[in-house]
Structure 1
Amino acid sequence: MHDGELGISDEVAAGLISRRFPELAGRPLRRLRTAGTVNTIIRVGDAHAARFPLVGESEDRLHGEAAATAEFAAVSPITAPITIGVAPASEEFPSAWTVQTWVAGDVVAPDSQTTSVRFARDLVDLISSVRTADVRGRVFDGRGRGGRLRDHDEWVEHCLAQSAHLLDVERAGRLWRTLRDLPTAGPDVMSHRDLTPFNLLASGDRLAGVLDTGGFGPADPALDLVAAWHLFDEERRSIVRDGLGADAVTWRRGAAWALQQAMGLVWYYEQTNPAMSELGLSTMRRLLADEELCSLD
């Protein structure tokens, strides 16, 4: 999925885990097949997971993510992983890597909770709780989504150019150009920053876990609304909108962030990660079918 992607064998992983985390030595390992695009995940026993980056990361960066996971877990009403340690790069694996606590649940699919009222209300509770965390004077760090919509013009236009065989890019382009000029939705708030279905775990129709919390930080208050577009039909989206008290600007900025993310998934992972590509397509279908957004075209 990435140029220069790092791989790791089960044997090397076992040796590294035993050496860096001797308390976990000898526990059974199980490599997980996921739609993730950032790490190779290996479950260690029943209670932990080792995360080996697909693209090299520094110890400093992963220590920063570890701090973010702890900060997220402290305010989240939903179970989230905690990093128990960061291991340095080595000859066997040329990147720092981490071990986290295991979170139980079923990975959510784009269509698995489409009509679930309970899941929508759980999502409202999660986003509301996360927003209460103190930003402590911090602001958006400029990485990825969460700042100015217009900063993503070039990327979105590139994605549209790559996706004509997959969706109506003319309509998608018009929608982006309408939404990108919306004013800011208020001061930055603390945000998960990547609330996609594959980062959520379910138990039946309840939200049971939240993954990949290392990006937790200040961002546009509309950013976490992407989850509503990734997950729900129009009626359940309204539960999220009303539950969070999102005004028209905030709600439409959330749609813009969902469009920006979805368009990046649609074509980039078409061959290498079909589940991620399908997530992008399903989200774009929701955006392009939404009555309120269609009225802006």
Structure 2
Amino acid sequence: MATLPAAEIFADAALVRQLVQEQQPELGGQALHEVASGWDNYIYRLGTDYAVRLPRRRTAAGLTANEQRWLPQLTADVRVRTSVPLFCGTPSELYPWPWSITAWFDGQDVSVSPRDRNVALAEPLAGFLNAFHRPAPPDYPRNPVRGGPLSGRNDAVQGRLDSGMVPHAARVQELWAEALKIPHWTGAPLWLHGDLHPANLVAKDNTLQAVIDFGDLTAGDPATDLAAAWLVFDAEGRDTFRRSLGSQYDGDPHVWERARGWAICMATNLLANSDDAPGLYLVGSETLMEILTGDRERF
């Protein structure tokens, strides 16, 4: 049973207000309230237009530093809005790690939306990936669990399948074994969001408002992000998503098979580690059903 990691530092509203007043005083008088305390970050809403994100753990502080360094340049030409830092908070006597102020996006995360409505998001999400998946420089931030060969996730997936937490484990095991035989990505490392599931997409009125939470930012195999075809969409949405991507990935005949493998990896992770997050567990369950009952012959 997965539990939320304990916070290594406590950041209440009073501390956050002090930080904002100290480093971004023009925003210091705006209303502030906590909206989430997740795996890695505290999230506060600041006024009506901003969010404050502060790491709860030292490991998350490194992820925030990656976002601050790379996202401004990576998202400058992307049409879809993102959680790019608008202000990069620096360590101080009040708080020891980097923290950020981002835009606040009006809407709901897509994990609460019925999948048959997500087809409207397929084209803009494809546009985001076509723009974001560009070659990365040699010093891109490494990520031990995203962007590499599927074989690197075998121990983790096997552990989940043996845990009793994943339905239809025998059939999933067969599909995972097939995925491990697929040829690896041989191209240059491409920039990746790294965690492109529905809870990291914000929509309103069936319109994609933003792609958020780039904590797993890295580079490597684009199939990692293309797993969104199963994580976000039903069969109709997958068809629209793939058509909207155009020919960008046609040079690799195995990219969609690996993407399905990454969807298996991520779905089993959500099923085995979301005891305290029913919405994410549902995403894992629905994704697994899309993989087991879906459209293998079309990909």
Q: TM-score, normalising length from structure 1?
A: 0.86
Deviation at 1:15, TM superposition (A): 2.4
Question: What are the residue-to-residue correspondences of 1:87-126 with 2, within 5 Å?
Answer: 87-88=90-91, 90=93, 93=95, 95-109=97-111, 111-126=113-128
Question: Where does residue 239 of structure 2 map in the other structure?
Answer: 238
Which amino acid letter does the alignment assign opposite residue 290 of structure 1? G
Task: Tell me the distance in 1 between the aligned counterparts of 2:285 and 2:92.
Answer: 37
Which amino acid letter does the alignment assign opposite residue 288 of structure 1? L
Question: Where does residue 48 of structure 1 map in the other structure?
Answer: 50
* SS in structure 1 at match of 2:182: coil
Identity %: 24
Task: Tell me the distance in 1 between the aligned counterparts of 2:222 and 2:161.
Answer: 26
Structure 2: runs of 5 or more not aligned: none
Could you tell me whether the CA contact under 8 Å between 2:165 and 2:272 is conserved in 1? no
Structure 1: runs of 5 or more not aligned: none
2:294 is the counterpart of 1:290: yes
Question: Where does residue 253 of structure 1 map in the other structure?
Answer: 258
Question: What are the residue-to-residue correspondences of 1:1-297 with 2, within 5 Å?
Answer: 1-6=3-8, 7-33=10-36, 36-57=38-59, 62-83=64-85, 84-88=87-91, 90=93, 93=95, 95-109=97-111, 111-131=113-133, 133-137=134-138, 141-162=142-163, 164-187=164-187, 188-244=189-245, 245=247, 246=249, 248-270=253-275, 272-292=276-296
Task: Provide the aligned C-alpha RMSD in A.
Answer: 2.6
Deviation at 1:134, TM superposition (A): 4.1
Task: Tell me the distance in 1 between the aligned counterparts of 2:157 and 2:257.
Answer: 17
Deviation at 1:138, TM superposition (A): 5.3
Instruction: Check 1:165–1:66 CA distance in 2 against 1; reply closer, same or farther (3 A cut).
Output: closer
Deviations 1:56-105 (A, max 9, x none): 24866533321222123213110113311123164x55544222233333
Task: Tell me the distance in 1 between the aligned counterparts of 2:160 and 2:106.
Answer: 35
Deviations 1:245-296 (A, max 9, x none): 45551111111111111111112122x2222222111111111112417x99
Instruction: Check 1:130–1:8 CA distance in 2 against 1; reply closer, same or farther (3 A cut).
Output: same
Deviations 1:212-267 (A, max 9, x none): 13544422021111211111111221222233245551111111111111111112
Task: Tell me the distance in 2 between the aligned counterparts of 1:161 and 1:127.
Answer: 34
Which amino acid letter does the alignment assign opposite residue 32 of structure 2? L
Count of residue correspondences: 290
Deviations 1:139-168 (A, max 9, x none): 672422111110111100111122x25511
Which amino acid letter does the alignment assign opposite residue 15 of structure 1? Q
- Which sits farther off after the overlay, 211-220 or 118-127? 211-220
- Which sits farther off after the overlay, 218-227 or 242-251? 242-251
Deviations 1:7-40 (A, max 9, x none): 4322222223222332221210021147x43211
Instruction: Check 1:178–1:134 CA distance in 2 against 1; reply closer, same or farther (3 A cut).
Output: closer
Could you tell me whether the CA contact under 8 Å between 2:112 and 2:279 is conserved in 1? no
Deviation at 1:106, TM superposition (A): 2.4
